[in-house]
């Protein structure tokens, strides 16, 4: 549950950061008007950080058994998003760091009170 909270917080922070940074996507900044392999997201859909990677890392921590599958897929998706020019490399790196940091912070900061609350509930039952 705490990992899910961390993942949701990471996604919210990612979306808030996009509004502050306002980094134009490479498909609009580097090649305006040129047709690319992938559709360039609409104007106002900012590049930094990558929300896809933020969620992927958080979900890998949420379901560690699936991490062996989900992390390589997330890495491939991140690489493809850079190759089709919808993200810069630093966007996907920042997304990965943000997802991992938010989940780790949620686990480290909230685990002791959560354990205490569960322990109290179990004693009462």
Give the tens place of pLDDT for each residue, 9-64: 777 877 787 777 777 777 777 766 666 666 777 776 777 777 777 777 767 776 77
Please report the pLDDT score of residue 83 as a whole number. 84
User: Quick one: 74 exposed, middle or buried, by C-beta within 10 A (0-12, 13-18, 19+)?
Assistant: buried
Distance CA 63, CA 16 (A): 25
Tell me: the pLDDT tens digits for 52-94? 777 777 677 767 787 788 788 888 888 888 888 888 898 888 8
Distance CA 91, CA 125 (A): 48
Distance CA 103, CA 3 (A): 5
């Amino acid at each position: 549950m705490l990992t899910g909270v961390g993942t949701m917080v990471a996604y919210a922070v990612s979306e808030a950061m996009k509004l502050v940074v306002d980094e134009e996507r490479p498909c609009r900044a580097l090649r305006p008007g040129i047709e690319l392999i992938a559709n360039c997201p609409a104007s106002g859909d900012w590049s930094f950080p990558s929300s896809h990677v933020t969620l992927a890392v958080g979900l890998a921590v949420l379901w560690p058994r699936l991490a062996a599958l989900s992390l390589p897929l997330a890495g491939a998706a991140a690489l493809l998003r850079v190759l089709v020019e919808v993200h810069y490399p630093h966007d996907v790196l920042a997304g990965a760091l943000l997802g991992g940091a938010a989940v780790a912070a949620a686990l480290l900061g909230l685990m002791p009170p959560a354990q205490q609350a569960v322990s109290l509930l179990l004693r009462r039952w």
